[in-house]
Chain A
Amino acid sequence: MTHNEIQSLVFAALELTNQSREDDAQVPIASDTPLFGKQGHLDSMGLVGLLIDIEDMLQDQDIHISLSDERAMSAANSPFKNVSTLVAHIDTLLKGE
């Protein structure tokens, strides 16, 4: 998958998340949107949900990976900080497959 394809997939997952969020809690669909942590739009449960949605979408393309493995949690710079770090994280995982 190319970087752009991964980003589209993350955007699609965010749109899915937004469908069940209140109007005033919408997550902006953009590469610099903060996700988790400082100024993040998601709490831990929201993040868990988003990651599983992305995993489900990858599964549809027959790609079976876990986005929240131990490495992800101990990374000095959290891969869940914003959309672009998350895209880079998925990219790394896919290349390492």
Chain B
Amino acid sequence: MTVQFLLDKMAELKDQEAVAVGSNVITYGQLLTKYHDWLEWIKTEKIQQGEVVSIKSDYSADSISLFLALTHNRNIIVPLSNDSKAHFDTFCDIAQNQYDIILGDGPVSLIRTNNQPDHELYKVLHERNQPGLVLFSSGSTGKSKAIFHDLSQLLNKFTVPRKMMRTLAFLQFDHIGGVNTLLYTLANGGTAVVPAKRTPESVCEAIDTHQVEVLPTSPTFINLLLLSGAADDADLSSLKLITYGTETMPDSTLAAITARFPETKLLQTYGLSEVGILRSKSRDSKSLWVKVGGAEFETKIIEGRLWIKSESAMLGYLNAPSPFDEEGFLDTGDQVEQDGEWIKILGRQSEIINVGGEKVYPAEVESVVLEMSGVEDAAVYSLPHAITGMIVAIEIKLDTDETLAEFKVRLRQHCTGRLQAYKIPRKITLIDNYTHNARFKRMRKRS
């Protein structure tokens, strides 16, 4: 039984806090009760093993226990959090869900659809008699891909006991990072703390109230956290570890966060929806050099690009060809620098800007620009140009009253000496809003 080890843990720690949403705290015992209620409900509603079920909900004790019950029932689960509300219809259409479960403040809503899923990969999973999970990529590099996992394989790696932690549930369960946080927490008897909102203020309040030890987040959110000053109004002394991933960390943001939280360890994580989250180790808190791997992972670097093979890799995409090579490795698309067993992630191959034959990584330029006073956010992109092929363009959110001309002069003066001339942004646009998406990943414009 795939979730049995989680159930055993929950029964053993029944008085321990499992999930905290706002001021509402649920123990493992209560979560277990809810789990059994859902099993009964699934039986009553006659949801059969292997059927495709979407859950529209954010993290709550109900959605987490329902997720576990559907896993036990060997369903193919399509979690859909409000982060991707705009795409619900498209995602359901791709996944061919047979049931749509909507959880909110009121009673549960169950809708039976007329879909009759017959995807080849679904058949593979049915033959294995295992539960499945469909996640969608953010679509930052084109259309969203539907990533289909054998959920039992994702669960397997959590059977090895690790440290019990109180962790902020930053990403929802429709993101590989969110699934990872949830399963890690449940498998080790930790507490998942769900902030009321994903703002710096709300996250800091949740850390303070529930004595959170681990904050898994993104460089963009860390930047906002520092800018907002929210950390000054809350007691964050419980925080032992901040992990960051999903995008390249600018040097300037890492330097600022380690200076602000000298007692807190910083760890870079690395993972992809396709292969899961690798175990990682940063050389030290101030370093962008990282060692990635873990028992079930193999890595190789070809022409500076990182490839990964994983036992818990997805079965494939529902709406795209298989990306694996003959040996089962996946091209991550990430360019890396290598120093023995350490790697430094430079950025995505697809985002490299070629200026007159010279390569520019957006993250390096953003890092230098983010050092400037008054710059709240910066996102680099490329523009075609007749003279140099491509040029570096940048969108900037300022908290000053400078005109574009005034800011241009200041930016050029700041960048000269810090960046080679071809890396200095030539086209500058001032914008009013932050550039990140709902999951706090910087969204760079595409030309």
Contact = CB atoms under 8 A, between A and B. Distances in A.
User: Chain B interface mostly helix, strand, loop or mixed?
Assistant: mixed
A68 B388 CA distance: 10
Given A44-B388, A47-B387, A20 B427 contact: no
A49 B411 CA distance: 12
A72 B385 CA distance: 12
A37 to B, nearest CB: 12
Residue among B385, B386, B404, B421 with the highest chain A CB neighbour number at 10 A: B386
Given A20-B413, A68-B386, A45 B408 contact: no
A75 to B, nearest CB: 11
B309 to A, nearest CB: 42
A20 B356 CA distance: 22
B416 A45 contact: no
Given A20-B416, A53-B408, A45 B424 contact: yes
B391 interface: yes
Interface of B: 356, 385-388, 391, 404-405, 408-409, 412-413, 416, 421-422, 424, 426-427
A86 to B, nearest CB: 13
A8 B289 CA distance: 51
A52 interface: yes
A16 interface: yes
A78 to B, nearest CB: 11
Contacts of B409: 16, 19-20
Given A16-B409, A20-B409, A53-B408, 12 more contacts: A16-B405, A19-B409, A19-B413, A20-B413, A44-B388, A45-B424, A48-B387, A52-B426, A66-B386, A69-B386, A70-B386, A72-B386
A68 B424 contact: no
Contacts of B408: 16, 20, 53
Interface residues of A, number: 20
28 contacts: A16-B408, A19-B413, A20-B408, A20-B409, A20-B416, A44-B356, A44-B387, A45-B388, A45-B422, A45-B426, A46-B421, A47-B387, A48-B385, A48-B387, A48-B391, A48-B426, A49-B426, A51-B387, A53-B405, A53-B408, A56-B404, A56-B405, A66-B386, A68-B387, A69-B386, A70-B386, A73-B386, A73-B387
Nearest to B391: A48
Interface centre among B421, B422, B424, B426 (most CB of A within 10 A): B426
B304 to A, nearest CB: 25
A21 to B, nearest CB: 9
Most buried by B among A53, A66, A72: A53
A32 interface: no
A64 to B, nearest CB: 14
